[in-house]
Amino acid sequence: MGSYIFKRVLALVPILIGVSFLVFTIMHLSPGDPASLVLGEQATAEQIAQKREEMGLNDPFLVQYGNYVFKYVQGDFGQSYVSNRDVATEILSRFPNTVTLTIASMIIAIGIAIPTGIIAATKQYSITDNVATVLALLGVSMPNFWLGLMLIIGIAVPVQFIPTGGMKVAYTLFGNIKIPTLGSIILPAITLGTGAAGIIMRMTRSSMLEVVRQDYIRTARAKGVSEKVVIRKHALSNALIPIVTVVGLQFGYLLGGAVLTESVFSWPGVGRYMVDSIKTRDMPVVIAGVIFMASVFTIVNLFVDILYAYIDPRIKAEYKKG
C-alpha cells in the first residue's frame, strides 16, 4: 500500500508540470500587459518598460516559464499583480470557503441521489424509476450558472431572509474556518450539488441493478431474509465501490468546478478569486490557483483509491500482492 501511494504521489509531478505549462501558455498569449496592470493607467512608457524588465517579461517564453517553475519548487507562488499580496496566503484563506460549499453540496447530492437510486433500482421500469431517471438527466443537463440564476429569481428574491449572494458567517472555528448561515449556503449548495446528484443517482441505480440480479441475493431472499436487510446489507454493501468512485470524483470535480457557482452567488472562494484574476490578467494568481486545484483533485482521487481497500478486502489483497 505504501509503495502504491508513493507512486501515485510521484505521478502528480508530471501532471502539475503539464497543467502549469498549459495555463502559463494561455495566460502568456492572452492580450494585455501585466506591467501596465501593476503600475496603473497613469504610468508612462518609460516606467512600463522598466517594470517589464524587472518582472522578466522581456525574457524568452521558456525562460519565463522556467523562472516560475523554479519559484514554485521553492514554495514561492509570487505576489498578486492587483493586490500585491502573497498569492499562497490569498488562496489558502479562501480555500476553506470552497471546501465548505463543496461539502454542503455533496451532502445534498448524496442525500438525494443514493436513496433515489436504490428505490429506482428496486422498482425498475416503474413510474418512480422513470421519474427519477428524468430528474437525474435534468440535473446533469442544467448548467450551474443558469440554475443558480433561476434559484435567485424564484426563491431568493421573493423570500427576503435568503440572501441573493455573499456568505454570512454564523460562527468561526479555529480562527479562520468560517461556518456560513443556512440561508446563505443553501442556494449555492443546491446549485452545485444538482449535477452531482444526477450522476451519483444514475451510478447507484446501475450498480444496484447489477447486484440485485446476483445469485447470493436470490439465496438471501429464498432464506426468508427481509427485503430491507437484503437491500441494505447484501446489495448496497456490494454495490458501494462504483458509487464511492463517483462520489470521490464528483467531490474533486466540485472543488474545481465551483467557479461559476461562486461567481453567480458572490461566494468568497478560490473559484471566484480565480475568475476575478483572469479578468485582470493576474497571472501569478491564475497559475497558482490552477496548480493548487489540480493537486487537490489528484489527492482526492488518491484518497478514494485507498478507501477501496477498506470497503472491499479483495482490493487490499491485490495491493499486497503488487
- Tell me which DSSP letter residue 153 carries: I
Average pLDDT value over all residues in the chain: 84
Angle between helices 61-73 and 2-29 (to 10 degrees): 140
Grid cell in block for residue 248: 470521490
Predicted local distance difference test score (pLDDT) of residue 123: 87
Biggest CA-to-CA distance, the chain: 87
Between the CA of residue 17 and those of 163, 288, 299, 303, what are the distances in Å?
A: 40, 12, 16, 21
Grid cell in block for residue 294: 489540480
CA gap 288, 315 in Å, rounded: 35
Domains of the chain, residue spans? 2-73, 94-321
Top-level class of domain 94-321 = mainly alpha
CA gap 271, 184 in Å, rounded: 17
Identify whether the C-beta of residue 90 lies closer than 8 Å to the C-beta of residue 80.
yes
Q: What are the tens digits of pLDDT across the range 69-122?
A: 888 888 788 888 878 888 888 888 888 899 899 999 999 999 999 999 999 988
* Band of pLDDT at residue 306, cut at 50, 70 and 90: confident
Residue 221 contacts by C-beta under 8 Å, 6 or more apart in sequence?
227, 230
Q: What are the tens digits of pLDDT across the range 15-66?
A: 888 888 888 888 788 777 777 777 777 788 888 888 888 878 888 888 888 8
Residue 180's H or E segment, with its range, is strand 177-180
Grid cell in block for residue 103: 461539502
Identify whether the C-beta of residue 6 lies closer than 8 Å to the C-beta of residue 302.
no
Predicted local distance difference test score (pLDDT) of residue 322: 55
CA gap 112, 106 in Å, rounded: 10
